[in-house]
Amino acid sequence: MSTNKIIRVYGIPNCDTVKKARAWLTAQGLDYEFHDFKKQGVPADKLPSWMQAVGWEKLTNRQGTTWRKLDPTLQSSVVDAASATRVLQEHPSAIKRPVVEWADGDITVGFNAENWLASRV
């Protein structure tokens, strides 16, 4: 087993859900690395694996402020993984957060303490 397997959390630091997820990880004593979409952008090579793991529909946060502010024509152009990739790369705040790459290779989107506790600790 590789010793460099760590938890990676992707998101925006001022997002309430990301704050809760990071606090939960810290409270559980789990080390993680944080990747800030605002400062570091969205790693283009990650979007396909995230979409394969959870689906482009789940990864696209259609409930958030960023999505609602997008031009309706742009919103309606998101119909598959390729079109979602283009929009999410350009508008990282439209990605549902946090995206977590767990040490075991699993990928989750969003934060649910009960689910995380049942499957991670």
Which strand ranges, in their side-by-side order, compose the sheet holding 99-101? 32-36, 7-11, 99-101, 107-109
Cβ neighbours, 10 Å, residue 114: 7
pLDDT tens track for 14-69: 999 999 999 999 999 999 999 999 999 999 899 999 999 999 999 999 999 999 99
Distance CA 9, CA 84 (A): 21
This prediction's pTM: 0.90
Among the listed residues 8, 10, 12, 15, the single catalytic one is: 15
At 2, is the pLDDT very low, low, confident or very high (cuts 50, 70, 90)? very low
Cβ–Cβ under 8 Å, residues 42 and 66: no
Residue 15 bears catalytic tag: yes
Give pLDDT, residue 1: 37
Distance CA 67, CA 75 (A): 7
Q: Is 73 helix (H, G, I), strand (E, B) or coil?
A: helix
Q: Say yes or no to pLDDT of 120 above 80.
A: no
Give pLDDT, residue 44: 84
